[in-house]
Amino acid sequence: MGWAESGAPARARPRWDGAEVNLAAAVCAAQAAAVTAVFWVGTFDDDDHGAGSGGGLAAVGLLCVLVFGPALLAALGALHAAVVTMPAASAARLAARRTPVPEVAWQLASALSLGALWAVLAVALGGLSPRGAPALLLAASGVLPSLAVAHVRRRERRTGRPPGDRRVWLRAALAALGACVLIAGAGAVGLATGLIREYEPPRLGADRLTGVWRGDHGAVLRLDPGGRAQLTEVPAQPEFGDVATREFTRCAGPGHWSLDTGGRYDPYADGGTSGQRAGVVVRVADCGHDTYWTIGGTADRPELFVLFGDPDSGDLRILRRD
């Protein structure tokens, strides 16, 4: 691409040039917006666990993203420039002065090394899964900003003029907007053409539901053949008051369960219908209301979940097969 350059030292100036920092931050912010759009499209075939169907807070959330999103992306870009791109650029400049290897090669190697270091730290702290795409994206997040910085440095050597374009944020914003529109449009086309399939919950019979299901805080639900159940710290609808409240109780002891394949039972609407999602109705004597655990997940990794309270801001509880 014509970015190879000699190891000759550049004209002396501050190691972290303000224009270079600005450029690295803007490019990182733009790529973060595009990556976020890709992950959003990737949720089209995910189970939303009944959340967000209320619409009210969803609209407020969208408004917050539009208002505060650009500032958050800019802050993220500046942080990334400070801990990845510019340290890599400084290390590359020092290494290029002592070796015949082009500075851009050192810069990419340094950016990848620093990105991998931060990714390993995030995995070690439990913030990222070692097997997921976010860890790999974090490790490679410095590549594009580093190429941008290397490009302006090469241009400075050729023209003798230091980078000073103040419109870099406007250009980055336009590029990010265009990329997000293209990604969202591609996702919409994928849904319309069937290339992206909307989520469909697994169809589980009573034989697939029997067994032990576990959740957080020691919740254990054992579904035995014949409709008997055994509960340990399992969340349940409260016995008194509004069953749509976000609060719930925890039940322990024997109970009963039944499979509802038609979505006839609705824990929020006194005998109304709860849609087409099949689920398990769990009843416990002297503890809470009957609770409808909707079937979710996949055929290989099924889940039972219940959303206590408002769909926009409820408390989601999930049980998974032992």
- The residue written with tokens 């408002």 in the block is 310
pLDDT for res 181: 93
- The residue written with tokens 């509004």 in the block is 242
- The residue written with tokens 């942080």 in the block is 79
Diameter over CA atoms, the chain: 83
pLDDT for res 246: 53
Cβ neighbours, 10 Å, residue 64: 11
Do residues 201 and 46 touch, judged by C-beta distance below 8 A?
no
Which residues share a beta bridge with 47? none
Half-sphere exposure of 206 (CA within 13 A, CB side): 11
pLDDT for res 9: 43
Per the structure block, which two tokens stand in for 321?
């097969």
Residue of 66, 86, 68, 67 lying closest to 25 (CA atoms): 86
Per the structure block, which two tokens stand in for 190?
């994928």
pLDDT for res 4: 37
Which residues share a beta bridge with 250? 235
In 177-314, DSSP assigns E strands to 211-214, 220-223, 228-236, 249-260, 279-284, 291-297, 302-308
Domain boundaries, the chain: 18-193, 206-321
The residues, ordered by sequence, that sit 6+ positions from 160 with a Cβ below 8 Å of its Cβ are 11
pLDDT for res 266: 52
pLDDT for res 299: 86
Do residues 311 and 215 touch, judged by C-beta distance below 8 A?
no
pLDDT for res 276: 66
User: Please, what are the averages of pLDDT over each run of 10 residues along the chain (322 residues)?
Assistant: 39 63 93 92 79 53 75 93 92 88 90 93 84 87 92 81 75 92 92 84 89 92 93 84 64 91 56 63 85 89 85 80 84
**Could you tell me whether strands 228-236 and 249-260 are parallel, antiparallel, or unpaired per DSSP bridges?**
antiparallel
Supply φ then ψ for residue 196, to 5 degrees. Answer: -110, 120
Per the structure block, which two tokens stand in for 67?
């208002």
Cβ neighbours, 10 Å, residue 128: 20
| Whole-angstrom distance, CA of residue 299 vs CA of residue 280 | 16
pLDDT for res 274: 47
| Whole-angstrom distance, CA of residue 182 vs CA of residue 175 | 11
